[in-house]
Amino acid sequence: MMAAPTHQREMDMTDPVLTFIENGVGRIRLNRPRAIHALTPEMCVAIIDALLGWAKDDSVVAVMIDHLPAPDGDPKLSRGFCAGGDIALIARSAAADGVEAERFFSVEYRMNHLLFVYEKPIVAFMDGIVMGGGVGLSLPARYRVATERTSFAMPETGIGLFPDVGGGWYLPRLPGRTGAWLATTGARIDGADCIAVGIATHYMPSEALDAVKARILTDPFDLTLVLDAASIQPPPSKLQAARADIDRLFASDKAEEIVAALEADSGEWARKQASILRTKSPQTIKVALRQLVEGAAKPSFADNMAMEFGLACAVIRRPDFVEGVRAVIFDKDNAPRWTPATLEEVRDEMIDAIFAPLPPDRQWTPLPQLADA
């Protein structure tokens, strides 16, 4: 059930996401520090509800997305912008009938799409961990601020999933083969790397964020000037230094050819990447590579999200997702038993079946208010 517009009710500081208007700025503040602000369906609904209300409110000139630190200041509970979606909820549903998981994907993807087409400027402060659902929450923003604490990743192949929430749109549009590398290995990159490949638009020290947010609240019409004035030159990008190797060794859209190129290379970096790939789900490595090929050809973000919803509905019903979550999230033995166990055993027909369109009555659609966006 859709909640009442959060900007029209009293704010409860225990809510997992706070949405309110402050000095002409619509504020979205993630507030689940013990879960590194992982998104739930209810959080997505609250964000959708607030954004729709602010879109019609002339007093709101911009939107700001960030996270609240832990109330007690515990640094372990204050280290992330958003670690993703509530994977445990999705896995429990996937082990049953999958209905609740599909509902989650549907509402989250509608939120992603709404953010992507939103007409008012949005600034997302990507301070700390930005993974999975946090990527889908921040990359649609016009302004994306990274810091020295930013840790960005799409690690889904490590749990038998694929880089969703728009990964099929964003990743193939990064420079060279960066997207294929990120999608298959789940590599973590820092704030300087995010600037180097265009994931972030601004870089500033984390200690400056409170002052920058205060300046935005003082004059939200000058977002660009405020952010430009606070930005500093990031340190050298390690990703940029590896770009030639990434582009050369991840050049193929075929997983077996990528692995062969890595194993034929004598460099330490290549050996490390090959070792990492051997820990990931062979099935979803292949899904991710095809997802990027098809996502690059999609005419709109909505078309990409419809594709990803179909993939999500199929992948969660394959053994690897439940097994990956067991190994990484529940049992934490980090020893998933993938099915199939090797890339060679993942047949083309299996991937074709995962990409098969859903029946019309199950296909994802944008919010009714955005049907033409």
Query: Is residue 294 among the annotated active site residues?
Result: no
> What phi and psi values does residue 87 have, to the nearest 5 degrees?
-65, -35
- Catalytic residue among 80, 84, 85, 132, which? 85
Query: Is residue 133 among the annotated active site residues?
Result: yes
> What would you report as the CA-atom Rg of the chain, rounded to the nearest whole angstrom?
20
Q: Which of 197, 200, 185 is nearest to 139 (CA)?
A: 200
CA distance 4 to 22: 19
Question: Which residues, including other chains, have CB under 8 Å from residue 225's CB and lie 6 or more apart?
Answer: none
- Catalytic residue among 53, 128, 133, 168, which? 133
Q: How far is CA 45 from the centre of its chain?
A: 17
SS3 85: strand
CA distance 137 to 126: 10
Sign, Cα dihedral of 21, 103, 36, 228: negative
Query: Is residue 156 among the annotated active site residues?
Result: yes
Look up residue 333 and give its two tokens.
């033995």
Polymer length of the chain: 373
- Catalytic residue among 164, 190, 193, 323, which? 164
Three-state secondary structure string covering 114-183: HHHHCCCCEEEEECCEEECHHHHHHCCCCEEEECCCCEEECCHHHHCCCCCCCHHHHHHHCCCCHHHHHH
CA distance 199 to 201: 7
- Catalytic residue among 66, 86, 102, 156, which? 156
Among all residues, which ones are annotated catalytic? 85, 133, 156, 164
